[in-house]
Amino acid sequence: MRIHRNLRPQDLFVLFRFLSPAARHYRQIDLAFELGLSATEVGHSIRRLIQSKLIHETRKPDRLAMVEFLLYGVKYFYPVEIGAISHGVVTAHSAPPISKNFRQNKVEDFYVWPTPEGEVLGQSITPLFSTAPQLYKSCPPVYELVTLLDAIRLNIPQVQEFAEQELLSRINLALGNAEVGHDPMTAQLQL
């Protein structure tokens, strides 16, 4: 069996889950259930995250590497694919972490991951990984972080700025440093 050495989109779900110290001690099968992945996928993700230096052997994320990759690399590695209007689960700036900061009046203003179970009509975005819409119910903390990542990936300046600040705040809070500047470069240097 061939093991992929390059990061895959589902690896970000595992990375985000490891922001919780308790989750670093979960069994792979428990992480798999929460994230909608197989235990084998979780194992491969952990190896790729360690190899890429985004987490340590202890499964603790490396703050500087994580911030640098999420803010500056992800939108190029995994560009947004916008599709037709459809029903789905809200993401990007249409989702709760930052939705209160943006006025959304028309269907085209909302962004969703398309799914038949979705309750919101909006512009569809192909999710980073097929199980992303399930995160809304199975693992809300990871769902919120993935939606922030989608807001960054959309590359809309005002939306991106809000999403970067919220993502930095959550990473710093989880990893023990609550100080975050307004400029992502400044915030990164404070890490």
Number of residues written out for the chain: 191
- Rounded (10°) angle between helices 9-17 and 39-51: 90
Q: What is the predicted pLDDT for the residue at 188?
A: 41
Tokens linked to 166: 């919220």
Reported as a single tens digit per residue, the pLDDT across 9-55 is 999 999 999 999 999 999 999 999 999 999 999 999 999 999 999 99
Q: pTM for the full model?
A: 0.89
Provide the 8-state DSSP code for 61.
Answer: B
Distance CA 70, CA 77 (A): 10
- DSSP-assigned states of every residue in 121-153: EEEEE--SSTTGGGHHHH-HHHHHHHHHHHHHH
pLDDT score, position 185:
40
Instruction: State the DSSP code for 72.
Output: H
Provide the CB-side half-sphere exposure for 46 (13 A, CA). 21
Tokens at 62, concatenated: 């490396």
**Residues in the chain where the model's pLDDT stays below 50:** 1, 178-191
Q: What is the predicted pLDDT for the residue at 113? A: 97
Residue by residue, DSSP assigns 3-27 as PP-S--HHHHHHHHHTTSTGGGGS-
